[in-house]
Structures are given as structure tokens and as C-alpha cells.
Structure 1
Amino acid sequence: MRYITFVKMAEGLEDPPLALQEAMAKEMDQAIAEGTLLEAGGLSGMRDSTEIRLRSGTITQVDGPYAEGKEVAGGYAITEVRSHEEAVEGARRVLELHQQYWPGWEGSVEIRQMFTAPGQ
């Protein structure tokens, strides 16, 4: 089963502490070696984003930052795991590393199963 996870946090935080970056790199290297982590990376802030919307039959473009955005996705990972529970456990580990190496950081991890088109 393939999942995508988004690490969400307040917009505008400083860069993560070096200790967290090193711990996350170690965790990701292990997951890559195990074959469960397929891809991961950080995302730019909302100031660099663009949203294309379809409302009432009209397509519009809105450039960030967005006043209504309080929490943004700061990173993502794509995993291949055996169960939803395994995906949740991996996300919990990400939060535990943030808790340990970035005191005071608050955020969440959204976990969503990915589906592919038939024949892929």
C-alpha cells in the first residue's frame, strides 16, 4: 500500500535544528534501505505557491501567501508499507523526532493512501 504523508506546521518557522536534520536523515536512510521510503523532501513556503481554483464555472489563479493559511505542509514522504497502521507508526516516529530534537515545535502529520490508475 502506498501512502503520502505531509508534515504540517505554522508558516514562517526558522530552519529545523541541525540535530533534527541529522536524526531525520538517519531515519530516512534506514527506511530507504528497508524499501519503505520511496521519496521525501521539503516544500517551499506559501509565499512561493500558486493555487488554481475552479468555482462557479470559472478558473482563477491565486498566488500566495494566503491570509487564511495558518498551518502549511513543510515536507512530504511517499512510502510503501503493508498496512495503514504501519504508515501511522512511521508518521508517529517523525513527530517523536521533532518532539525530541526541536523543543516547542508544534505541528501534525497527515497520512493519506495513494491510488494509481488501473494498469500502473
Structure 2
Amino acid sequence: MEEGVGTPPQALFEAMDAHIGERAAKGVFLDGGGLYGTEDAVNFVIRHGEVSRVDGPYAETKEVVGGWAIMQYDSLDEAVADQREFAELHAKYWPEVTVVATLRQISDGPEAPGD
């Protein structure tokens, strides 16, 4: 999501509450939440075996992770369809911002998905 675009409209909050509530009732939504902006963020950068701390805000940052959710689906097709529905809620209720809704699998070990 774009950083510094303001608070989402109340209609989006209400639509997301319904969306998440339905998935929680089905046992699909396991956990999730929103994240504050980068103004208070702390990053640790590991480069060439050295660790350095970099505090926010980050002037070069245009897009940030605005929230996260852990969901459990029976198939990848179900996950993709539901992620599209999530994205469409944002397009409908907050069309003036750019949001990238990313779907990723959780790793249970060193193997790649599908192994």
C-alpha cells in the first residue's frame, strides 16, 4: 500500500470486518492485523556479515506492508479466489489508492511449495 495516504474509509473497515468475520466463522481466517506506518519502524540490515540498525521514517519508501493475515485454505485455487475478493473490496471502497494484495504460502521447512 502507498505510505501516507491517510486512513481508509469507514465503508472499507466495515466491509473488511464482514469479510474477515465470514472467514473466521469458517475457520479460514487464523490471525491478522493492520500495521502502523514506517515512521517508528526499526530495521536491522545484514550486509556482508555485519548488522546495522536503521530507524524510520524512510524517505525513499513509497509502498509499505499495511497489514497481514494468516489464512488456511483447502486448495490454492480457493486462496487465489479469496485473495481476489479481498482486493476487490479495496478497489470498491478505496479506489483512489494503490494497494498490492500479495498471496504467499507459509513455509513449514526448507522445501519449496509443492515439494
Please say which of residues 37-46 and 107-116 is displaced more in the overlay: 107-116
The structure, 1 or 2, with the larger RCO (C-alpha pairs under 8 Å, 6+ apart) is 1
Determine the C-alpha separation between the residues in 2 that align with 1:21 and 1:74. 13
Q: 2:112 matched to which residue of 1?
A: none
1:1-120 equivalences in 2 (<5 Å): 9-116=1-108
Structure with the higher fraction of residues in strand conformation? 1
Name the TM-score, length of structure 2 as normaliser. 0.88
Aligned-residue Cα RMSD (Å) equals 1.5
- State the Cα distance separating 1:91 from its structure 2 match: 1.5
| Greater than 4 Å deviation, 4+ residue runs | none
Percentage identity across paired residues of the two chains: 43
Determine the C-alpha separation between the residues in 2 that align with 1:25 and 1:94. 11
Q: Secondary structure at the match of 1:51?
A: strand
Name the TM-score, length of structure 1 as normaliser. 0.85
Unmatched 5+ stretches in structure 1: 1-8
- State the Cα distance separating 1:36 from its structure 2 match: 0.6
Matched residue count: 110
